[in-house]
Amino acid sequence: MAEVKRSKRVAFRNTVYYGPKNPPEHVSFITDLSETGLCIQTSRVFQPGTRLYMIIEVASRRFEAEGVVVLRAIRSPLITWIWIGAVVVLFGTVYALSPQPKPSPARRREVALP
């Protein structure tokens, strides 16, 4: 079984140039880092095992690094709206199937026609 290292992640926001080719062609942000890795917030998704080349500029110093994608996490904000829609449909179904109060007998009014 693989050894799991738990290292403290530190909030860190900086620009990173990254990509599977050298020089990297994509630009994004680093959101946090630790002794064992960093987290890049991006709209590009790479398969785990893909080698990435990175250029990180911190305080006018340039650091070049390369690493391997180990986790792919996809967060889709529109999924939230699907769940909200499902809840609305559920409440609508419960309301439609609930017993309705019987209407009181209405008085019949006669209307004279001209």
Tens of pLDDT, residue by residue over 26-42, are 888 888 877 777 778 78
Angle at Cα 26 formed by Cα 22 and Cα 27, nearest 5°?
Answer: 120
Q: Could you give the 3-state DSSP secondary structure of residue 48?
A: coil
pLDDT digits 0-9 by tens, 59-98: 888 889 888 888 766 667 788 889 899 999 999 999 999 8
Mean pLDDT, rounded, of the chain: 80
Q: What pLDDT does 1 receive?
A: 47
Half-sphere exposure (CA, 13 Å, Cβ side) for 21? 3
Q: Regarding predicted confidence, which is higher, 43 or 75?
A: 43
Higher-scoring residue by pLDDT: 88, 106: 88
What CA–CA distances, in Å, run from 65 to 34, 52, 92, 102? Answer: 15, 8, 54, 74
For residue 34, what are its two tokens?
């630790």
Residue 13 sits at φ, ψ, to 5 deg, of: -120, 120
What share of the chain has pLDDT > 70, as a percent? 82
CA distance 16 to 25: 10
Please enumerate in sequence order all residues whose Cβ is within 8 A of that of 19, keeping only pairs 6 or more positions apart, or say none. Answer: 25, 26, 52, 53
Supply the pLDDT for residue 87.
95
**Class assignment of domain 7-97?**
mainly beta
